[in-house]
């Protein structure tokens, strides 16, 4: 009997999508972790020599939290942007649309699986970077690590779902990745503090939602970031990020409700 919420169906779809990426975990979890770790090595060798410090900590320690959450967000998007696009390309879209699942249940299961992959990638990265020479990670504000890590991953999960509905071929999905997601993540303060930028570019950076994810996540590890060094300042960014995710969640739900580019 299915009552108001199809708990079994939601859980089954979530587990099915998790098993899909865990089955190829070398490609979906460990490869992204190694790639991000290589970025840490390259940037610390290029920019972190001679005892360079940023925000009062060694450069490697400064850049590590940003790389962790950036890896989480990129993999959350990669996971969620694959769902409907692969179904449309392979003719298996009916597997998502026919089961007795409401739009909200479908959205929660797919976004939840994307966030789960992001968390696993983040844990793998944190474990690897904790062993890297010159990186000293603490957790003075655990709430910020959890909140910004999950909200950043959920943000890209919703964007990925919308992208997979819109895209009609893999080239469309690659265009979103290369021309929107990648510039936003690379220009979000991962490798620098925005105080070093010209005032106009500081304004542009503060309009980038991923900037708040990076800075808030870094605050959880270092106790300071571009958006402030106290809970009150960071809380504003946390609330704004939560509100943005709420809006994107509603938009995703409404598009699923309409069957936008999914139902002929």
> How confident is residue 1, by pLDDT bands cut at 50, 70 and 90?
low
What is the C-alpha to C-alpha distance for residues 148 and 55, in angstroms, rounded to an integer?
20
Whether 264 maps to a domain, the answer reads: no
Q: Is 245 within 8 Å of 154 (Cβ atoms)?
A: yes
Q: Is 44 within 8 Å of 133 (Cβ atoms)?
A: no
| Residue reference for tokens 């020599």 | 49
- Residue count of the chain, please give it: 264
Whether 142 maps to a domain, the answer reads: yes
pLDDT computed for residue 50 by the predictor: 61
Q: Is the pLDDT of residue 125 over 90?
A: yes
Query: Can you give the residue range of the structural domain that contains 107?
Result: 7-258
Domain count, the chain: 1
What is the C-alpha to C-alpha distance for residues 192 and 190, in angstroms, rounded to an integer?
6
pLDDT computed for residue 110 by the predictor: 96
Share of the chain above pLDDT 70, in %: 96
> How confident is residue 14, by pLDDT bands cut at 50, 70 and 90?
very high
Mean pLDDT on 148-173: 94
Q: What is the pLDDT of residues 23-37, one digit of tens each?
A: 999 999 999 989 988
Asked which of 44-58, 100-114, 204-218 is least confident by mean pLDDT, the reply is 44-58
> How confident is residue 87, by pLDDT bands cut at 50, 70 and 90?
confident
Cβ-in-10-Å burial (0-12, 13-18, 19+) of 74 comes to: buried
Whether 71 maps to a domain, the answer reads: yes
| Cβ-based neighbours of 114, under 8 Å, separated by 6 or more | 76, 77, 79, 80, 153, 156, 157, 160
* DSSP label at residue 136: -
Whether 179 maps to a domain, the answer reads: yes
Whether 41 maps to a domain, the answer reads: yes
Helices within the chain (DSSP H only): 7-23, 25, 31-47, 59-80, 83-90, 94-97, 103-130, 142-166, 170-176, 182-186, 199-206, 209-222, 231-258
Whether 2 maps to a domain, the answer reads: no
Q: Is 125 within 8 Å of 29 (Cβ atoms)?
A: no
Q: Which of 44, 245, 246 is nearest to 132 (CA)?
A: 44
Bridge-partner residues for 57, per DSSP? 54
Whether 79 maps to a domain, the answer reads: yes
What's the number of CA atoms in the CB half-sphere (13 Å) around residue 212?
24
What is the C-alpha to C-alpha distance for residues 235 and 41, in angstroms, rounded to an integer?
32
| Cβ-based neighbours of 202, under 8 Å, separated by 6 or more | 194, 195
Q: Is 196 within 8 Å of 213 (Cβ atoms)?
A: no
CA angle, residues 152, 156, 160, in degrees to nearest 5: 170
pLDDT computed for residue 264 by the predictor: 57
Whether 263 maps to a domain, the answer reads: no
Mean pLDDT on 138-158: 95
Mean pLDDT on 237-257: 96
Q: Is the pLDDT of residue 132 over 80?
A: yes
């Amino acid at each position: 009997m299915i009552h108001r919420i199809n708990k079994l169906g939601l859980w089954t779809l979530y587990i099915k999508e998790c098993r899909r990426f865990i089955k190829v975990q070398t490609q979906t979890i460990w490869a992204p972790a190694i790639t991000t770790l290589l970025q840490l090595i390259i940037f610390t060798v290029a920019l972190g020599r001679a005892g360079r410090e940023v925000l009062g900590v060694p450069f490697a320690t400064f850049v590590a939290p940003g790389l962790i959450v950036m890896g989480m967000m990129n993999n959350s998007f990669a996971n969620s942007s694959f769902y409907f696009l692969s179904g449309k390309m392979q003719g298996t879209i009916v597997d998502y649309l026919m089961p007795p699942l409401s739009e909200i249940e479908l959205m929660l299961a797919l976004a939840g699986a994307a966030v789960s992959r992001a968390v696993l990638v983040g844990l793998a990265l944190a474990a690897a970077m904790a062993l890297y020479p010159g990186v000293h990670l603490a957790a003075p504000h655990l709430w910020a690590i959890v909140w910004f890590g999950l909200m950043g991953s959920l943000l890209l999960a919703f964007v990925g779902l919308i992208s997979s509905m819109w895209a009609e071929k893999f080239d469309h999905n690659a265009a979103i990745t290369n021309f929107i997601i990648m510039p936003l993540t690379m220009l979000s303060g991962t490798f620098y503090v925005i105080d070093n930028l010209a005032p106009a570019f500081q304004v542009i950076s503060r309009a980038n939602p991923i900037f708040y994810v990076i800075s808030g996540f870094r605050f959880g590890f270092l106790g300071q970031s571009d958006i402030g060094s106290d809970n009150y300042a960071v809380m504003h960014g946390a609330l704004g990020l939560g509100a943005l995710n709420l809006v994107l969640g509603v938009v995703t739900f409404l598009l699923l409700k309409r069957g936008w580019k999914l139902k002929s």
